[in-house]
């Protein structure tokens, strides 16, 4: 894998257990990056990590609730500790409520803001020093 475009790079992806996050993790791994997979559904993360590794990639599954500041920081810390660096952060975790505003559950809306806004903030704050250290860090917000 030494000649792949992202060889030697490490990417952390939130919301990696399904959908866009899962597809992004697979694509980055196929391009040579080691990937750290963060989400709440650990069983799906572990299955994805096993699939990536079976295809010759390197993957780390880390339980992460981005709406919890300590969990978001622990995800980034585990990435750097286990994979040695951080070059790319993909803030993909998100919640979308469908339905009318009238009568909407404010607790569900608060959870959506916590995940979609604060989760992005927590992960980015935790990642920035490591991205700076890499000399060429990238943040992708989905």
Model's pTM, two decimal places? 0.94
Domains annotated on the chain, with CATH: 10-141 (3.40.50.720)
* Band of pLDDT at residue 1, cut at 50, 70 and 90: very low
Q: What is the pLDDT of residue 4?
A: 80
Q: What does the block give as tokens for 135?
A: 């000399």
Largest CA distance in the chain: 55
Pair 122, 73: CB distance under 8 Å: yes
**pLDDT over threshold 50, residue 83:** yes
pLDDT, mean of residues 74-91: 99
Q: What is the pLDDT of residue 140?
A: 98
pLDDT, mean of residues 88-117: 95
For the chain, state the CA radius of gyration: 15
Pair 134, 86: CB distance under 8 Å: yes
**pLDDT over threshold 70, residue 45:** yes
pLDDT, mean of residues 94-122: 94
Q: What is the pLDDT of residue 9?
A: 97
């Amino acid at each position: 894998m030494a000649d792949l475009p992202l060889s030697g790079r490490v990417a952390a992806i939130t919301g990696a257990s399904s959908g866009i996050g899962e597809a992004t993790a697979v694509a980055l791994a196929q391009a040579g990056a080691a990937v750290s997979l963060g989400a709440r559904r650990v069983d799906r993360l572990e299955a994805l990590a096993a699939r990536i590794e079976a295809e010759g990639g390197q993957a780390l599954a880390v339980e992460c609730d981005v709406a919890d500041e300590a969990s978001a920081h622990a995800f980034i810390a585990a990435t750097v500790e286990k994979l040695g660096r951080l070059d790319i952060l993909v803030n993909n975790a998100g919640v979308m409520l469908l339905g009318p505003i009238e009568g909407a559950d404010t607790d569900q809306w608060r959870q959506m803001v916590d995940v979609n806004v604060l989760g992005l903030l927590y992960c980015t704050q935790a990642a920035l020093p490591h991205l700076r250290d890499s000399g060429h860090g990238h943040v992708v917000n989905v």
